[in-house]
Amino acid sequence: MKKSWIKLLQTHAAGIFEKSESIFLKLLREDFEEIMYNGWNQVYLEDSSGMRKLDHLFIDAKDYERQVALFLATQNQRLSVDRSILNFSIGEKYRVQVLHRHISGGETIISFRQSGSDKFDAQDFYENEFITKNQHRILGELVRNKRTIFICGETSSGKTTLLNFLLGEIESKERLIVIEDTREIQAPQERNVVYLRSSKAEYQKEEITTGDLVKASLRLRPDRIILGEIRREEVVDFLHAINTGHRGSLCTGHGNSPQDMIHRLEMLLIEAGVPYDATKRYLGRGIDVICFLEGKTKRQLKSISRVDFVQGEVRVDEIYESF
C-alpha cells in the first residue's frame, strides 16, 4: 500500500489503526463479584444485586476465541490440549480460571473473580450484616488467644474476605507464612509475613504442591501458618503442623455446614492413608473453631462453632461467647 493511501486512512479512518482494549480487561472496571464466559454469546456478570446476562460482546464464536487467545498472550499464559486448565491472577485483585474447549466440548470457558483481598473495616461488615459486633468480639479474642480457626462455606461466600479481616487481629510481632495457589490473601502492611505460592509443572519446571509448601514453611520459623484453602492431601501436613506447636493458624475450605466440613476433612484424611480413628483425633485436637459462612449476594457469618475431641468422637457445638 502506498504511503499516501496509508496517510489518508490514518486521517479519515483512524479507528483502523487503533488498538482496541480487550473486552476481558474492559469489563474488569465494572462493579462485579464474578464474570463468567460460557461462550461467545453466554456471558454473565454477578454483583451485589444478583446475576445478569451480558449481550453483544462478541461478533461470533471465532471472534470470541481470537480475543481469548489475544488476552491470554498479554497475560503470558498458554492454553492447549496438554495444558487445558489455567489458574492465574491479574494483580492482587482478580483471580482467573480458563478451561480449554476440549474439556467443555464447545468453547473456551473463562471465569473472573474478585479476590477477597479488599480491605474492609469492622463498620463495613456491621452495615452489610456480614458479622455482628458480638461475633467480631468473639473472633478477635479467639485469634488473640491463638485458637486455630477453620473458615468454611460455599463458593463466593466470603471465606477469604473474612480470613483477611482476621489477619488484622493478629499481633504485629508475629511471623506469618501464607500459602495459597493464587494470590488472594493479604496481611496488613509492615508485617513479618512470607507469601508462598504453589505451581504446576510446566516447561520442565518442578511442580510445587500446597503440601510441599506446608512442609517447607515449618523451616521458616512461623508463628502461624495461613493456608488459603484445603483441597486434598495437604490436609495431613497442615494438621500435623498445628498439632505440633503452630497454634492459631487459619485455613479455609468448602463446606455446607460445620459438621459437613468435619466429615469432608475426615474423608480427605482417610484418602491420604490416615487410619479412621486417627482422623478424628487429628481433627478434634487440631482445629479449635469452625466459622461457617452462607450466601453469595447476601453474605453472612452464620455460626462460630467450637470443635472438641470427646470420647473418641469429634464434637461441634455453636458458641455465643469466647472460651
Tens digit of each residue's pLDDT (9 = 90 or more) over 23-59: 999 999 888 888 999 999 999 998 878 889 999 999 9
With a cut of 50, say whether residue 96 has pLDDT above it: yes
Domain 122-318 sits in CATH 1.10.3720.10: no
The pLDDT, as a whole number, for residue 64 is 95
Cell of 199: 505451581
With a cut of 70, say whether residue 68 has pLDDT above it: yes
Q: How confident is the model at residue 14 (pLDDT cuts 50, 70, 90)?
A: very low
* Dihedral sign for Cα atoms in the order 119, 123, 125, 127: negative
Question: Amino acid identity, residue 146?
Answer: K
The pLDDT, as a whole number, for residue 164 is 92
With a cut of 90, say whether residue 289 has pLDDT above it: yes
Residue percentage of the chain with pLDDT more than 90 = 45
The pLDDT, as a whole number, for residue 242 is 82
The pTM assigned to this predicted structure is 0.76
Cβ atoms 182, 87 nearer than 8 A: yes
Q: Topology of 17-114 in CATH?
A: Beta-Lactamase (3.30.450)
With a cut of 80, say whether residue 18 has pLDDT above it: no
Question: Which of 79-88, 93-102, 110-119 is predicted with the least confidence, judged by mean pLDDT?
Answer: 110-119
Phi, psi of 15 (to 5 degrees): -60, -25
Question: Which of 15-29, 92-106, 156-170 is predicted with the least confidence, judged by mean pLDDT?
Answer: 15-29
Q: Tell me the domain boundaries of the chain.
A: 17-114, 122-318
The pLDDT, as a whole number, for residue 46 is 87
Question: Which strand (E) or helix (H) includes residue 34?
Answer: strand 34-39
The pLDDT, as a whole number, for residue 116 is 56
With a cut of 80, say whether residue 74 has pLDDT above it: yes
The three-state secondary structure class of 120 is coil
Mean pLDDT of 244-255: 88
